[in-house]
Structure 1
Amino acid sequence: MMTSLFSIFEPSSSIFSIPLNWMSTFIGILFLPMVYWASPSRWLMIWSQSMQTLHQELKSMLSMSHVGISLFMISLFSLILFNNFLGLLPYVFTSSSHMAMTLSLSLPIWLTLMIFGWLKHTQHMFAHLVPQGTPSVLMPFMVLIESISNLIRPATLAIRLAANMTAGHLVLTLLSQSGPSIASSTLLSILILSQILLLTLESAVAIIQSYVFTVLSTLYTGEIN
């Protein structure tokens, strides 16, 4: 049962014995650039306005000398959001539910920030380990706690995204597997309605988790300055 349940996250798709599951991650490259659109549409205008709003919000979290990082964070948000929604489609590989992808996104960002911070802002990084107003007796413990907190940041970012995307898919799968055994049309209607509501909730989770991942990465970047 558990093998068939978790197999939804690893569908087999290949050509000439070459696995193509992870190719779905890069399909968004064909659709996101504006030059690939024949003419502006309402969806494109909504997307552009949303990205502009997000850009202003992320820029407010950074210093004036690092506002260009918000453009990178918007690209990160777009990548995660597209893959989250892509995973809601039937028989489509959900790459954002795999630690291989989420950790590949969080670990390089965290490692880059740590290297840059300790090389360029060494005193600030040391000062950040001890919050202002900490009693002298608690300083060693605060250094230990802050160090552990910094070390587990990439893991928490990766696990949060993967776990949230995995949980919703598992619930939808469990409900769908109970459908064939239901004989009552009333219960079947309730089941279908529940799945529609859960799919709507999963769509909201896809947006929220993309936003949370991006905002936390931006906040971690702002701490380095």
Structure 2
Amino acid sequence: MMTNLFSMFDPSTNIMNFSLNWMSSLIGLILIPYMYWIIPNRFIYLWNKILTTLHKEFKTLLGSTSHTGSTFIFISLFSFIVFNNFMGLFPYIFTSTSHMSMTLALALPLWLSFMIYGWINHTNHMFAHLVPQGTPSILMPFMVCIETISNFIRPGTLAVRLAANMIAGHLLLTLLGGTGPSLNMLMINILLITQIALLTLESAVAIIQSYVFAVLSTLYSSEVN
């Protein structure tokens, strides 16, 4: 039962053994020509406003010691994830961010690069992070173990949080939609209202999870400076 239930999230459309489902992640490239219009449309005004707000917030989180332009990687990360999350809400479009292979591929290289940069350039600072300020001497060995474990599971928590939130809503929509043919007219109307409400909730989740992923990545980056 569980295999059939989750099989709808597996890539299945292929030509010459090349999975076309993952091509949905590249459809966002069609939005790039909008940026070169002589007269920007409302979508571009809205998107520029969002990016400007994110830039200011990420700049604050990174602090004054951050490198110039370091916010752009996190803004690009947010844009990529939020686009893929929204594409998955359309019928018959594959949700790439519901797969651990996609989310872990985003989280692990980022975390690994932060760790390598921090331990090479700011070794004493990284050691200081292992023991929170004000920790009693007797608890220091335990705090080092706890902080080390929490540091190592960061990419996993980032990846699982995004994938689980995206797959949960889609799974609920699919399960409710599958009961439609066996319901009477009144229950179908109630089901439609419920599905619309869930789609609205999923739209909010798509934005929130993208924002959480980008903000946590920014905070992990700020710790190594």
**CA distance in 2: counterparts of 1:131 and 1:108, whole angstroms:** 26
Question: 5+ residue gaps in structure 1?
Answer: none
Question: 5+ residue gaps in structure 2?
Answer: none
Shift of 1:13: 1.8
Secondary structure (helix, strand or coil) at the match of 2:23 reads helix
Letter in 1 for 2:134: G
**CA distance in 2: counterparts of 1:143 and 1:11, whole angstroms:** 42
TM value normalised by structure 2 = 0.95
Shift of 1:189: 0.2
TM value normalised by structure 1 = 0.95
CA distances 1:4-48 after superposition (whole Å, capped 9, x unpaired):
321221242223442211111112122145445574111110111
Give yes or no for contact 1:11–1:92 (8 Å, CA) kept in 2.
Answer: no
Letter in 1 for 2:110: I
Give yes or no for contact 1:107–1:154 (8 Å, CA) kept in 2.
Answer: yes
Percent identity between matched residues is: 63
Letter in 2 for 1:147: T
Aligned residue number for residue 180 of structure 1: 181
Secondary structure (helix, strand or coil) at the match of 1:138 reads helix
**CA distance in 2: counterparts of 1:222 and 1:193, whole angstroms:** 44
Secondary structure (helix, strand or coil) at the match of 1:90 reads coil
RMSD: 1.4
1:70 aligns with 2:42: no
CA distances 1:32-65 after superposition (whole Å, capped 9, x unpaired):
4544557411111011101100110010011333
How many residues in Structure 1 have an aligned counterpart in Structure 2? 224
Give yes or no for contact 1:77–1:210 (8 Å, CA) kept in 2.
Answer: yes
Letter in 2 for 1:60: T
Aligned residue number for residue 117 of structure 1: 118
Give yes or no for contact 2:180–2:191 (8 Å, CA) kept in 1.
Answer: yes
Cα distance change on mapping 1:174 and 1:36 into 2, 3 Å: farther
1:14 aligns with 2:28: no
Aligned residue number for residue 102 of structure 2: 101
Give yes or no for contact 2:103–2:162 (8 Å, CA) kept in 1.
Answer: yes
